[in-house]
Structure 1
Amino acid sequence: MKKMMLSQYGDVDVMHLVDVDRPTPADHQILVKTTAIGVNDPDIAIRAHGPFPTMPKKLKPVLPHSLGQDFSGIVAAVGSAVQRFAVGDHVVGMAFMHTYAEYILLDDSALVATVPQDLDLIPLGGFLLGTATAYAATIRDGQAQAGQTILVHGGAGGVGSQAIQLAKSTGATVIATGSAQQADFMQALGADKTIDYQTQDFTKLVANLDLVVNLTGPKTLANSYQVVKKGGRITSVNALIDPIKTRLRGITGTYSKGMLSVEELNQLVDLYRQGKLTVPVDQEYPFELAAIQQAHRDFQSGGNTGKKIIVFQDQD
């Protein structure tokens, strides 16, 4: 089988495809034939600069290694002790740092869920990471509820597009920031109002918010405390909360991590099945080296609306 590997960090040309033996699952493992994977921020950052300094030691990859987190596929083989999955099951899941491969080997206790076989697996390849992060920031930590007014920063990206939908599903009023070109896209996802971050100052347009979900950087976060009402909440996924500012303003701040239980994943899959949650696909790329490199270039260029998905061709 083919697998994308890194032997050093840097520009897209450090990625290369190798032929390796297809793994055989042990008693408590499953082997998934990969259908599609999402291109995500960690792929770009780790490929370019190596593991994040804040990563726990046990999670830090060591060269040579692959990339990738979320995936969809079909179970190709199961170990003798596996009960949760069967050959032929359609699944979505997470496999930290090794989804850029035609087959993925996982423990049967991994964050994987079956999905109905009538669902298209291609968009589901980019479902889990963005949805998990959005769920943590919006529902679990943000405690979004009906009647609230919620601001989502970076509403057009892979995480933001999910955060808008999740916030809207609670019955909240949703405001989202993005570029003017992304406004129609964010409104189609459920945003009641959009703010052009390039030409408008959100601090002059909104106030007394119940929740701010920051999916951008530290500068936006620093300016967001002032628009949250006393007793409100602010969550952030890529910039640390300032505990002094939250305490002075009487608000709750949480640095959100997209860690899900299998039960939570099944709940999100059910929302997807009901059509209450979708994965907007920006562009698809075949699992070929030049196309993978281009997917990384396109992601880095910014202005993303939805997910970039790498799609695997049928293989023996």
Structure 2
Amino acid sequence: MKKILMYEYGDIDVLKEENTEIPSPTAGTLQIKIVSTSVNDPDIAIRKFGPFPTMPKEMRPVLPHMAGEDFAGIVTAVGDGVQHYQVGDHAMGITLSGTTAEYIILPEMALLYKVPDELELKAVGALGVAVSTAWAAVKNVQLHKGQTVLIHGGAGGVGSYAIQFAKNAGAYVITTAGSNSREYLTELGADEVIDYKTEDFTRKVKEVDAVINLTGQDTLDRSYQIVKNGGFLTSTNGIPDQEKALSCNINANYTIGMVSPEDMAKVFAMVKEGSLKININKIYPFTLDAVKQAQLDFEQGPNRGKRLIVMES
């Protein structure tokens, strides 16, 4: 089988293609044939710089490291003792051991979710990290109907889902993005779009119930002042300053994209009924050159939705 690895960290050319035997499942594990995977922020950061300084030791990648974190695929073999999956099941999930391979082996107890047969499996590969992070972020700010939320970085993969989750919760949604994404974000449900390149959001927004920061530290630092007393601020990029949050009388937390099977079932139901759109920016074939290009395109942006890598049929 084909897989893409890196033996060192650095520029795009550290990605190398290898051909190996298809791995077999052992007790308690599944063999999954990958249908699709996508590009996420950690793919770029880890490839360029290695493990994040804040990563727990048990989560740090070890070289050689396989690119990719999320996937959709088909269970093709199961090891002894597997109880909840059988051959032919559709599955999606998240793993730190890499997903740019034709087959992977995962423990049954990994971050795996059974995908309803009626959903297009290829497209589900665009959920994973982005939808988990967006769901967790919206949950962390405890949105309900009639509230106002500002989502920084609405046009990307995570932002595209966060806008929809917030809108489905009944919130008034403001987002920051480039002006060329305005129509796209309005179609997703954004009520207001602030051009971060030409407009200062702190002058346009005051007293919001919640802020979801999907961008950088500078944006996070300037967001405390616009949240109303008792409101919420969460960030996926930069850890909030608890002392600053306390001085502003707001609740602040860091979002990690963890979603329970019950919540993911709700996500699948939204996709099925059409209240959650899977937005795919571009589809790439599973070749070394195309995977490199997907990462380069992700870095350069703009990213309106996900960049999906699809294996051969």
Q: TM-score, normalised by structure 1?
A: 0.96
Partners of 2:284 and 2:308 within 8 A in 1: yes
Give the match's secondary structure for 2:67. Answer: coil
Partners of 2:280 and 2:307 within 8 A in 1: yes
Partner residue, 1:280: 279
Give the match's secondary structure for 2:65. Answer: coil
Tell which deviates more after alignment, 296-305 or 78-87: 78-87
* Distance of 2:274 and 2:95 partners within structure 1: 25
> Displacement of 1:114 after TM fit?
1.6
> Displacement of 1:84 after TM fit?
0.9
Amino acid at match of 1:174: V
Partner residue, 1:220: 219
Residues 1:106 and 2:106 aligned together: yes
> Displacement of 1:85 after TM fit?
1.0
> Displacement of 1:54 after TM fit?
0.8
Partner residue, 2:170: 171
Q: Within 5 Å, which residues of 2 pair with 1:54-93?
A: 54-93=54-93
> Displacement of 1:98 after TM fit?
1.4
- What's the Cα RMSD here? 1.1
Task: After superposition, give the CA deviation of every residue in 1:167-214 in whole Å (9 maximum; x if it has no partner).
Answer: 111011101110000011111111011111111111111111000000
Question: Gaps (5+ residues) in structure 2?
Answer: none
> Displacement of 1:242 after TM fit?
1.4
Task: After superposition, give the CA deviation of every residue in 1:263-293 in whole Å (9 maximum; x if it has no partner).
Answer: 3322322222222222200001011011011
Give the match's secondary structure for 1:73. Answer: strand
Tell which deviates more after alignment, 243-252 or 258-267: 258-267
> Displacement of 1:116 after TM fit?
2.1
* Distance of 1:65 and 1:265 partners within structure 2: 28
Task: After superposition, give the CA deviation of every residue in 1:35-69 in whole Å (9 maximum; x if it has no partner).
Answer: 00010000011011111111111111111111211
Give the match's secondary structure for 1:116. Answer: coil
* Distance of 1:97 and 1:191 partners within structure 2: 35
Tell which deviates more after alignment, 59-68 or 113-122: 113-122
Number of residue pairs the alignment of both structures matches: 313
Partners of 2:61 and 2:96 within 8 A in 1: no
Q: TM-score, normalised by structure 2?
A: 0.97
Partner residue, 2:180: 181
Amino acid at match of 1:62: V
Task: After superposition, give the CA deviation of every residue in 1:123-159 in whole Å (9 maximum; x if it has no partner).
Answer: 21120101111111111x1111111000000000011
> Displacement of 1:94 after TM fit?
1.1
Amino acid at match of 1:24: S
* Distance of 1:284 and 1:217 partners within structure 2: 27
> Displacement of 1:248 after TM fit?
1.1
Determine what percentage of the aligned residue pairs are the same residue: 46
Question: Gaps (5+ residues) in structure 1?
Answer: none
Residues 1:51 and 2:48 aligned together: no
Partner residue, 2:94: 94
